[in-house]
Structure 1
Amino acid sequence: MREQIVERFCREDVRDLSLTQAFYKLLDENKEYWCSLSTLYRLFRARGLNARRAPTRKARLRSRPTAYSAEKPNEVWTWDITYLRSSTYTGWFYYAYVIVDVYSRMVVSARVFDADNADFAVRFLGDAFRKYGIRPGQLVVHSDNGASMKAAPTMALLEKNGIIFSHSRPRVSNDNPYSESFFRTLKYSGDCLYPRDGFNSVEEAEQWVQSFVEHYNEHHRHRGIRMVTPGQRYRCEDAEVLRRRRETMLEARRNHPERWIGDSVLNCTPIGRVWLNPENGQLEEKRLPGAA
């Protein structure tokens, strides 16, 4: 049985995924339950097969964000900009502008430009507000203290649209973990390998980012939302996905009780409210004139 489990998780349909992603993919899409996730990792460790399937970097200590909460999509967004290396010129970069919906972890908008500046920031944010029909007072937009984020044209756009805006606390190097988490996945995930040699053009970078975002939103199962995809969570499909997952687990336990120790199954309760960490002090908040 153990060799069957290892063989199944080395097949072509899941071999490029992490064990965790493969476990939930088979559970949700194929209704295949072979063993617990801890047992799966133990089997792979015993055979020397559990090396990371993607490059990584050493984790950094990150400061927690301050308090804001979201109970549904499009209540709290975080946005940030990350550089993408050019393959043509040393020291030349393209810039990915990305908005993450905190409630669902879905990337609601992503674009690549050839500069990090307020003009592109205004165009990028304005397009997102129009696309999602954002109303005055509806949305909190959180960012770090980058020049493009705090530039006068950017702030004027937020004020015009009645956005409640917040920035990372002074002298805190990273207070925007949702965006940082996505960028880490983008550059270090094994799902869609990041081109280490860079991109030939801004158009090529844009195409790759859009492809990655589609995969991330619809296929990447996220730990922070009970291992459903961001797209499922955004569309409020997560409760049904988790209900079916629980049924699969219970059926597997009935059919193969020898694989279980005790009566527990995976936690399939949907995640509720999501916080930008209420344990810290007050968020640096500015409620704009006329905002509800």
Structure 2
Amino acid sequence: MGGKGRRHDQGIRQQVTSLVEDAVVRGARLEAACQVLGVSARTLQRWQKHPTEDSRRGPKTAPPHQLTQLEKDEIVRLVNQPAYRNLSPEQAVAKLAGEGIYICSERSLRRVLAERQLDRYRQRSKPAKGHNKPRQYVAHEPLRVLSWDITYMRSSTVRGGFFYLYVFLDIWSRRIVGAEVHESQQADIAANLLDKLCAEHELETEKLVVHSDNGAPMKGATMLATMQSLGITASFSRPNVSDDNAFAESLFRHLKYAPSYPRQGFAALDDARAWVARFVEWYNHEHLHAAIALVTPDDRHHGRDIAILEKRRDTYALAKDRNPRRWTGAQRAWRRPNVVTLNPDRLILSSPKTAASAA
């Protein structure tokens, strides 16, 4: 929504006010709802009290020290001379200052060039471009969206040596559906593991999304060809943005900070494989995962969590009936998360005026 002093038209104010009021009616706190939308509670209260347009109109007079039209023309003439036309605004200002000439600040020079449409990229190389956030994918059932990655496991016998753990995780149930340890990172190994788990779980590959980061094994020709032949939708993180593959990264942190994880590393490949097998068995069948209402990934994967959560609700209801004075509010709901989203989109509000003008 912007920082302090930013103006918002009446359409944006009405949308934000309506969303917050609806959230409060459903039980949310005012401050929490405002924080989600990026606006302070005091600002919202002011909008509710004065729902009209922003009354601020800005300065009515031009600053007396602003650049005149003649000065702007002279600046453009100078920076377009052969000695300066291939320099950045910062370099041009510095070089002119070294020659005893002051024209304006770097920021002012950039504004003048933008006004004259002279700030275009002119080098032979391609300009740097930002990477858009990966597309949002929503899982309503198991084995629809998988997150996978590779992490290193230190060798205790070879200095600087590592084993590599390949993991495929179902984001809906948090169940590890495939895990193997190898001595190298290769797209062929990942492709074989993906092909194997698709056959083992009888996956509907045309409806499957597989997300990973931008590493070489993830974008290797063999891996991409395997996903294409199976009809799998590939999804990739932005470069150097680990949050885009948060499910796999969170699992790796849990794995490496497990009490039984050997700090000095593994003596041999078989030792690493044996430890990973025990961890996967524990994680899938014993670990009560906080993100899925404290049930095991295997229980959620097979639907047993519905009965488990119902029994917990009954237990809490009986406890409240036995001693209601200890319960100042509603009992714990033990809700089952029915939807899990990979890289959820941010909430973007647009005013009706802006949308209409864009159309």
- Alignment TM-score > 0.5, same fold: yes
Contact 2:242 2:249 in 1 (8 A): no
- 1:175 lines up with 2:244 in the alignment: yes
Aligned residue for 1:207?
274
4+ long deviations beyond 3 Å: none
Q: Distance in 2 between matches of 1:86 and 1:170?
A: 28
- 1:197 lines up with 2:264 in the alignment: yes
Aligned residue for 1:93?
162
Aligned residue for 2:309?
242
- CA deviation after TM superposition for structure 1 residue 222, in Å: 1.1
Identity within the alignment, %:
42
Cα-to-partner distance string for 1:212-247 (whole Å, 9 max, x where unaligned): 011111111111111111111111111111000111
Aligned residue for 1:275?
341
- CA deviation after TM superposition for structure 1 residue 173, in Å: 4.3
- 1:150 lines up with 2:150 in the alignment: no
1:67-82 equivalent positions in 2, closer than 5 A: 67-82=136-151
Aligned residue for 1:30?
none
Cα-to-partner distance string for 1:56-77 (whole Å, 9 max, x where unaligned): xxxxxxxx86410000001000
Contact 1:135 1:162 in 2 (8 A): no
Q: Which of 297, 310, 314 is the equivalent residue of 1:230?
A: 297
Task: Calculate the aligned-residue CA RMSD, in Å.
Answer: 1.9
- CA deviation after TM superposition for structure 1 residue 171, in Å: 5.0
**One-letter code aligned to 1:243:** E
Q: Which runs of 5+ in 2 are unaligned?
A: 1-132, 348-359
- 1:261 lines up with 2:327 in the alignment: yes
Closer/same/farther in 2, CA of residues 171 and 186 from structure 1, 3 Å limit: closer
Q: Distance in 2 between matches of 1:70 and 1:194?
A: 31
- The two structures have a TM-score, normalised by structure 2, of 0.57
Higher relative contact order (CA 8 A, sep 6+): 1
**Greater shift in the superposed pair: 150-159 or 248-257:** 248-257
Closer/same/farther in 2, CA of residues 173 and 70 from structure 1, 3 Å limit: closer
- CA deviation after TM superposition for structure 1 residue 280, in Å: 4.1
Cα-to-partner distance string for 1:127-164 (whole Å, 9 max, x where unaligned): 11111112341200000001000000110000111101
SS of 1:74's partner is coil
Q: Which of 178, 187, 191 is the equivalent residue of 1:109?
A: 178
Q: Distance in 1 between matches of 2:183 and 2:147?
A: 21
Contact 2:198 2:205 in 1 (8 A): no
SS of 1:97's partner is strand
Q: Distance in 2 between matches of 1:206 and 1:228?
A: 26
- The two structures have a TM-score, normalised by structure 1, of 0.70
SS of 1:149's partner is coil
SS of 1:147's partner is coil
Tell me which structure has the larger Cα radius of gyration. 2
Aligned residue for 2:257?
188
Contact 1:144 1:174 in 2 (8 A): no
Write 1 or 2 for the structure with the bigger share of helix: 2
Contact 2:145 2:211 in 1 (8 A): yes
Contact 1:104 1:225 in 2 (8 A): yes
Cα-to-partner distance string for 1:26-48 (whole Å, 9 max, x where unaligned): xxxxxxxxxxxxxxxxxxxxxxx
**One-letter code aligned to 2:317:** L
Q: Distance in 2 between matches of 1:256 and 1:220?
A: 31
**Greater shift in the superposed pair: 121-130 or 143-152:** 121-130
SS of 1:150's partner is coil
Cα-to-partner distance string for 1:147-192 (whole Å, 9 max, x where unaligned): 00000011000011110111002453441000011111111134xx
Q: Distance in 2 between matches of 1:222 and 1:97?
A: 21
